[in-house]
Amino acid sequence: MTSKGGGKDRGGQDRSAPFTVSRRILLGPGPSNVHPRVLDALAQPLLGHLDPEFLALADDTQALLRETFRTTNAVTFPVSGTGSAGMESCFVNLIEPGDRVLVCVNGVFGNRMADVAARSGAEVARVEAPWGRAMDPDAVLSAGRQFGPKIIAMVHAETSTGALTPIPPIAAAARACGALLVADTVTSLAGIPVEVDLWGVDACYSGTQKCLSCPPGLAPVSYSSTAIEAVRARKSRVASWYLDLTMLTRYWSDDRVYHHTAPISMIYALREALRLVQEEGLEARWARHALHHRALAAGLEAMELSLVVPGEERLPQLNAIAVPEGVEDAPVRRRLLEEFGIEIGAGLGVFQGKVWRVGLMGYSASRENVLALLEALGVILPAQGHRVEALAGVDAAEKLYRDAGA
């Protein structure tokens, strides 16, 4: 893959010519594949960020985001930056120095929340669950009662492990403690139900490159009126100029006052990705993610591969597979990419070298992709020491699709 010198880049391309990239089937933890209509949107000519024509597109994008988050929150907009910028937005705006934040940690992203909250000046306490498991709401409630936090923060869909923590019981714990609930919905939004208003989420953030199937670069956020009151009641200024909601909401409202240049092309892309979500319908989209997860799980089981998360706590859009005994992690992923054009994710943190993470997110969640992956694993795994019949996985998945009438 790597070539040296002579005006060639790392992909072996000639720098004096325009570049082309390989087609990949993106089945990792994000980014997911992007619909051609979203790519077309990216290629539209630029408008200025204060041009009325662009502002109308920005209005549409915010309205579509509210529908997708299932909220009427006025402060709902895409933060410039990836999902982690959405995380920073929530903490840096809601925390003043010394505020107490209780963070639920059951994987990499809960850890990152605790780090970001501490950097924002919070006194942080953690309540933990084992990797690969959901949080226990009773443990969160008793930790909350003891600690008395201003905020309880949780990850809805822990992409590092594939575990789903239902929001309503954690939201109830937050209410019982008089705390605001901050939820990471980066991997959940548009893949499984996210009900911001119904569940009483005070602030949440997402990312564009997971189940929304848009390129990475924006972090949709939504703040309840209670959360906005907390921001307005601050005694100190927000430590980040770039993410300061007290200024940003003047652009992302009818005022449309310049703060920083909106990432125009990404907003075109997000608007189109959200239109695709609404065209399909959220319920149908959740059902599609569930179906392809079940087909993949059936195929994996037939290949004697196991998922690390217990059945009822599994995310359909992120499948953490235990690397079988005697098989090396990296060569399998390398062959998938090089010979089959399929990207899957490696394990992170305590799961490093021990799991493969298979994302079935947004446009990537399809029968074609599930079957392609199972077929490729059927070729690669026996050669790497896991003795299974090559087509066992494909056959089991096909049977599941037939039985589901799909």
Ligand X SMILES: *Cc1c(COP(=O)(O)O)cnc(C)c1O
Q: Kindly state the smallest distance separating residue 115's Cβ from ligand X, in Å.
A: 12
Q: Kindly state the smallest distance separating residue 83's Cβ from ligand X, in Å.
A: 3
Burial of 363 (0-12, 13-18, 19+ CB in 10 A): buried
With contact defined as beta carbons under 8 Å apart, do 321 and 306 qualify?
yes
Contact window for ligand X (CB under 6 A) among 16-24, 33-41, 145-153, 154-162: 154-162
When asked if residue 82 is in the footprint of ligand X (CB under 6 A), the reply is: yes
When asked if residue 265 is in the footprint of ligand X (CB under 6 A), the reply is: no
When asked if residue 184 is in the footprint of ligand X (CB under 6 A), the reply is: yes
When asked if residue 159 is in the footprint of ligand X (CB under 6 A), the reply is: yes
- CA dihedral for 382, 365, 130, 88, sign (positive or negative): positive
Contact window for ligand X (CB under 6 A) among 4-12, 151-159, 274-282, 351-359: 151-159
**Of the candidates 49, 133, 85, 121, which has an alpha carbon nearest to the alpha carbon of residue 307?**
133
Q: Kindly state the smallest distance separating residue 185's Cβ from ligand X, in Å.
A: 8
Q: Using CB under 6 A, which of 55, 59, 63, 84 touches ligand X?
A: 84
Q: Which tokens in the block code for residue 2?
A: 């790597």
Q: Using CB under 6 A, which of 183, 186, 190, 315 touches ligand X?
A: 186
With contact defined as beta carbons under 8 Å apart, do 156 and 181 qualify?
no
When asked if residue 91 is in the footprint of ligand X (CB under 6 A), the reply is: no
Q: Kindly state the smallest distance separating residue 223's Cβ from ligand X, in Å.
A: 18
- List the alpha helices (DSSP H) in 148-281: 167-176, 196-199, 225-232, 245-251, 264-280
Q: Residue 164: how many CB atoms within 10 A of its CB?
A: 23
Three-state DSSP at 314 gives: strand
Contact window for ligand X (CB under 6 A) among 81-89, 117-125, 296-304, 355-363: 81-89
- Closer of 144 and 215 to ligand X (Cβ): 215
Q: Which of residues 205-234 bind ligand X (CB under 6 A)?
A: 207, 216
CA atoms within 13 A on the CB side of 335: 15
**Of the candidates 186, 188, 174, which has an alpha carbon nearest to the alpha carbon of residue 144?**
174
- Closer of 83 and 347 to ligand X (Cβ): 83
Site string for ligand X, 107-146 (x = CB under 6 A): --x-------------------------------------
How do beta strands 163-164 and 157-158 pair? antiparallel
**Sites of contact with ligand X (CB under 6 A):** 30, 82-84, 109, 155, 157, 159, 184, 186-187, 207, 216
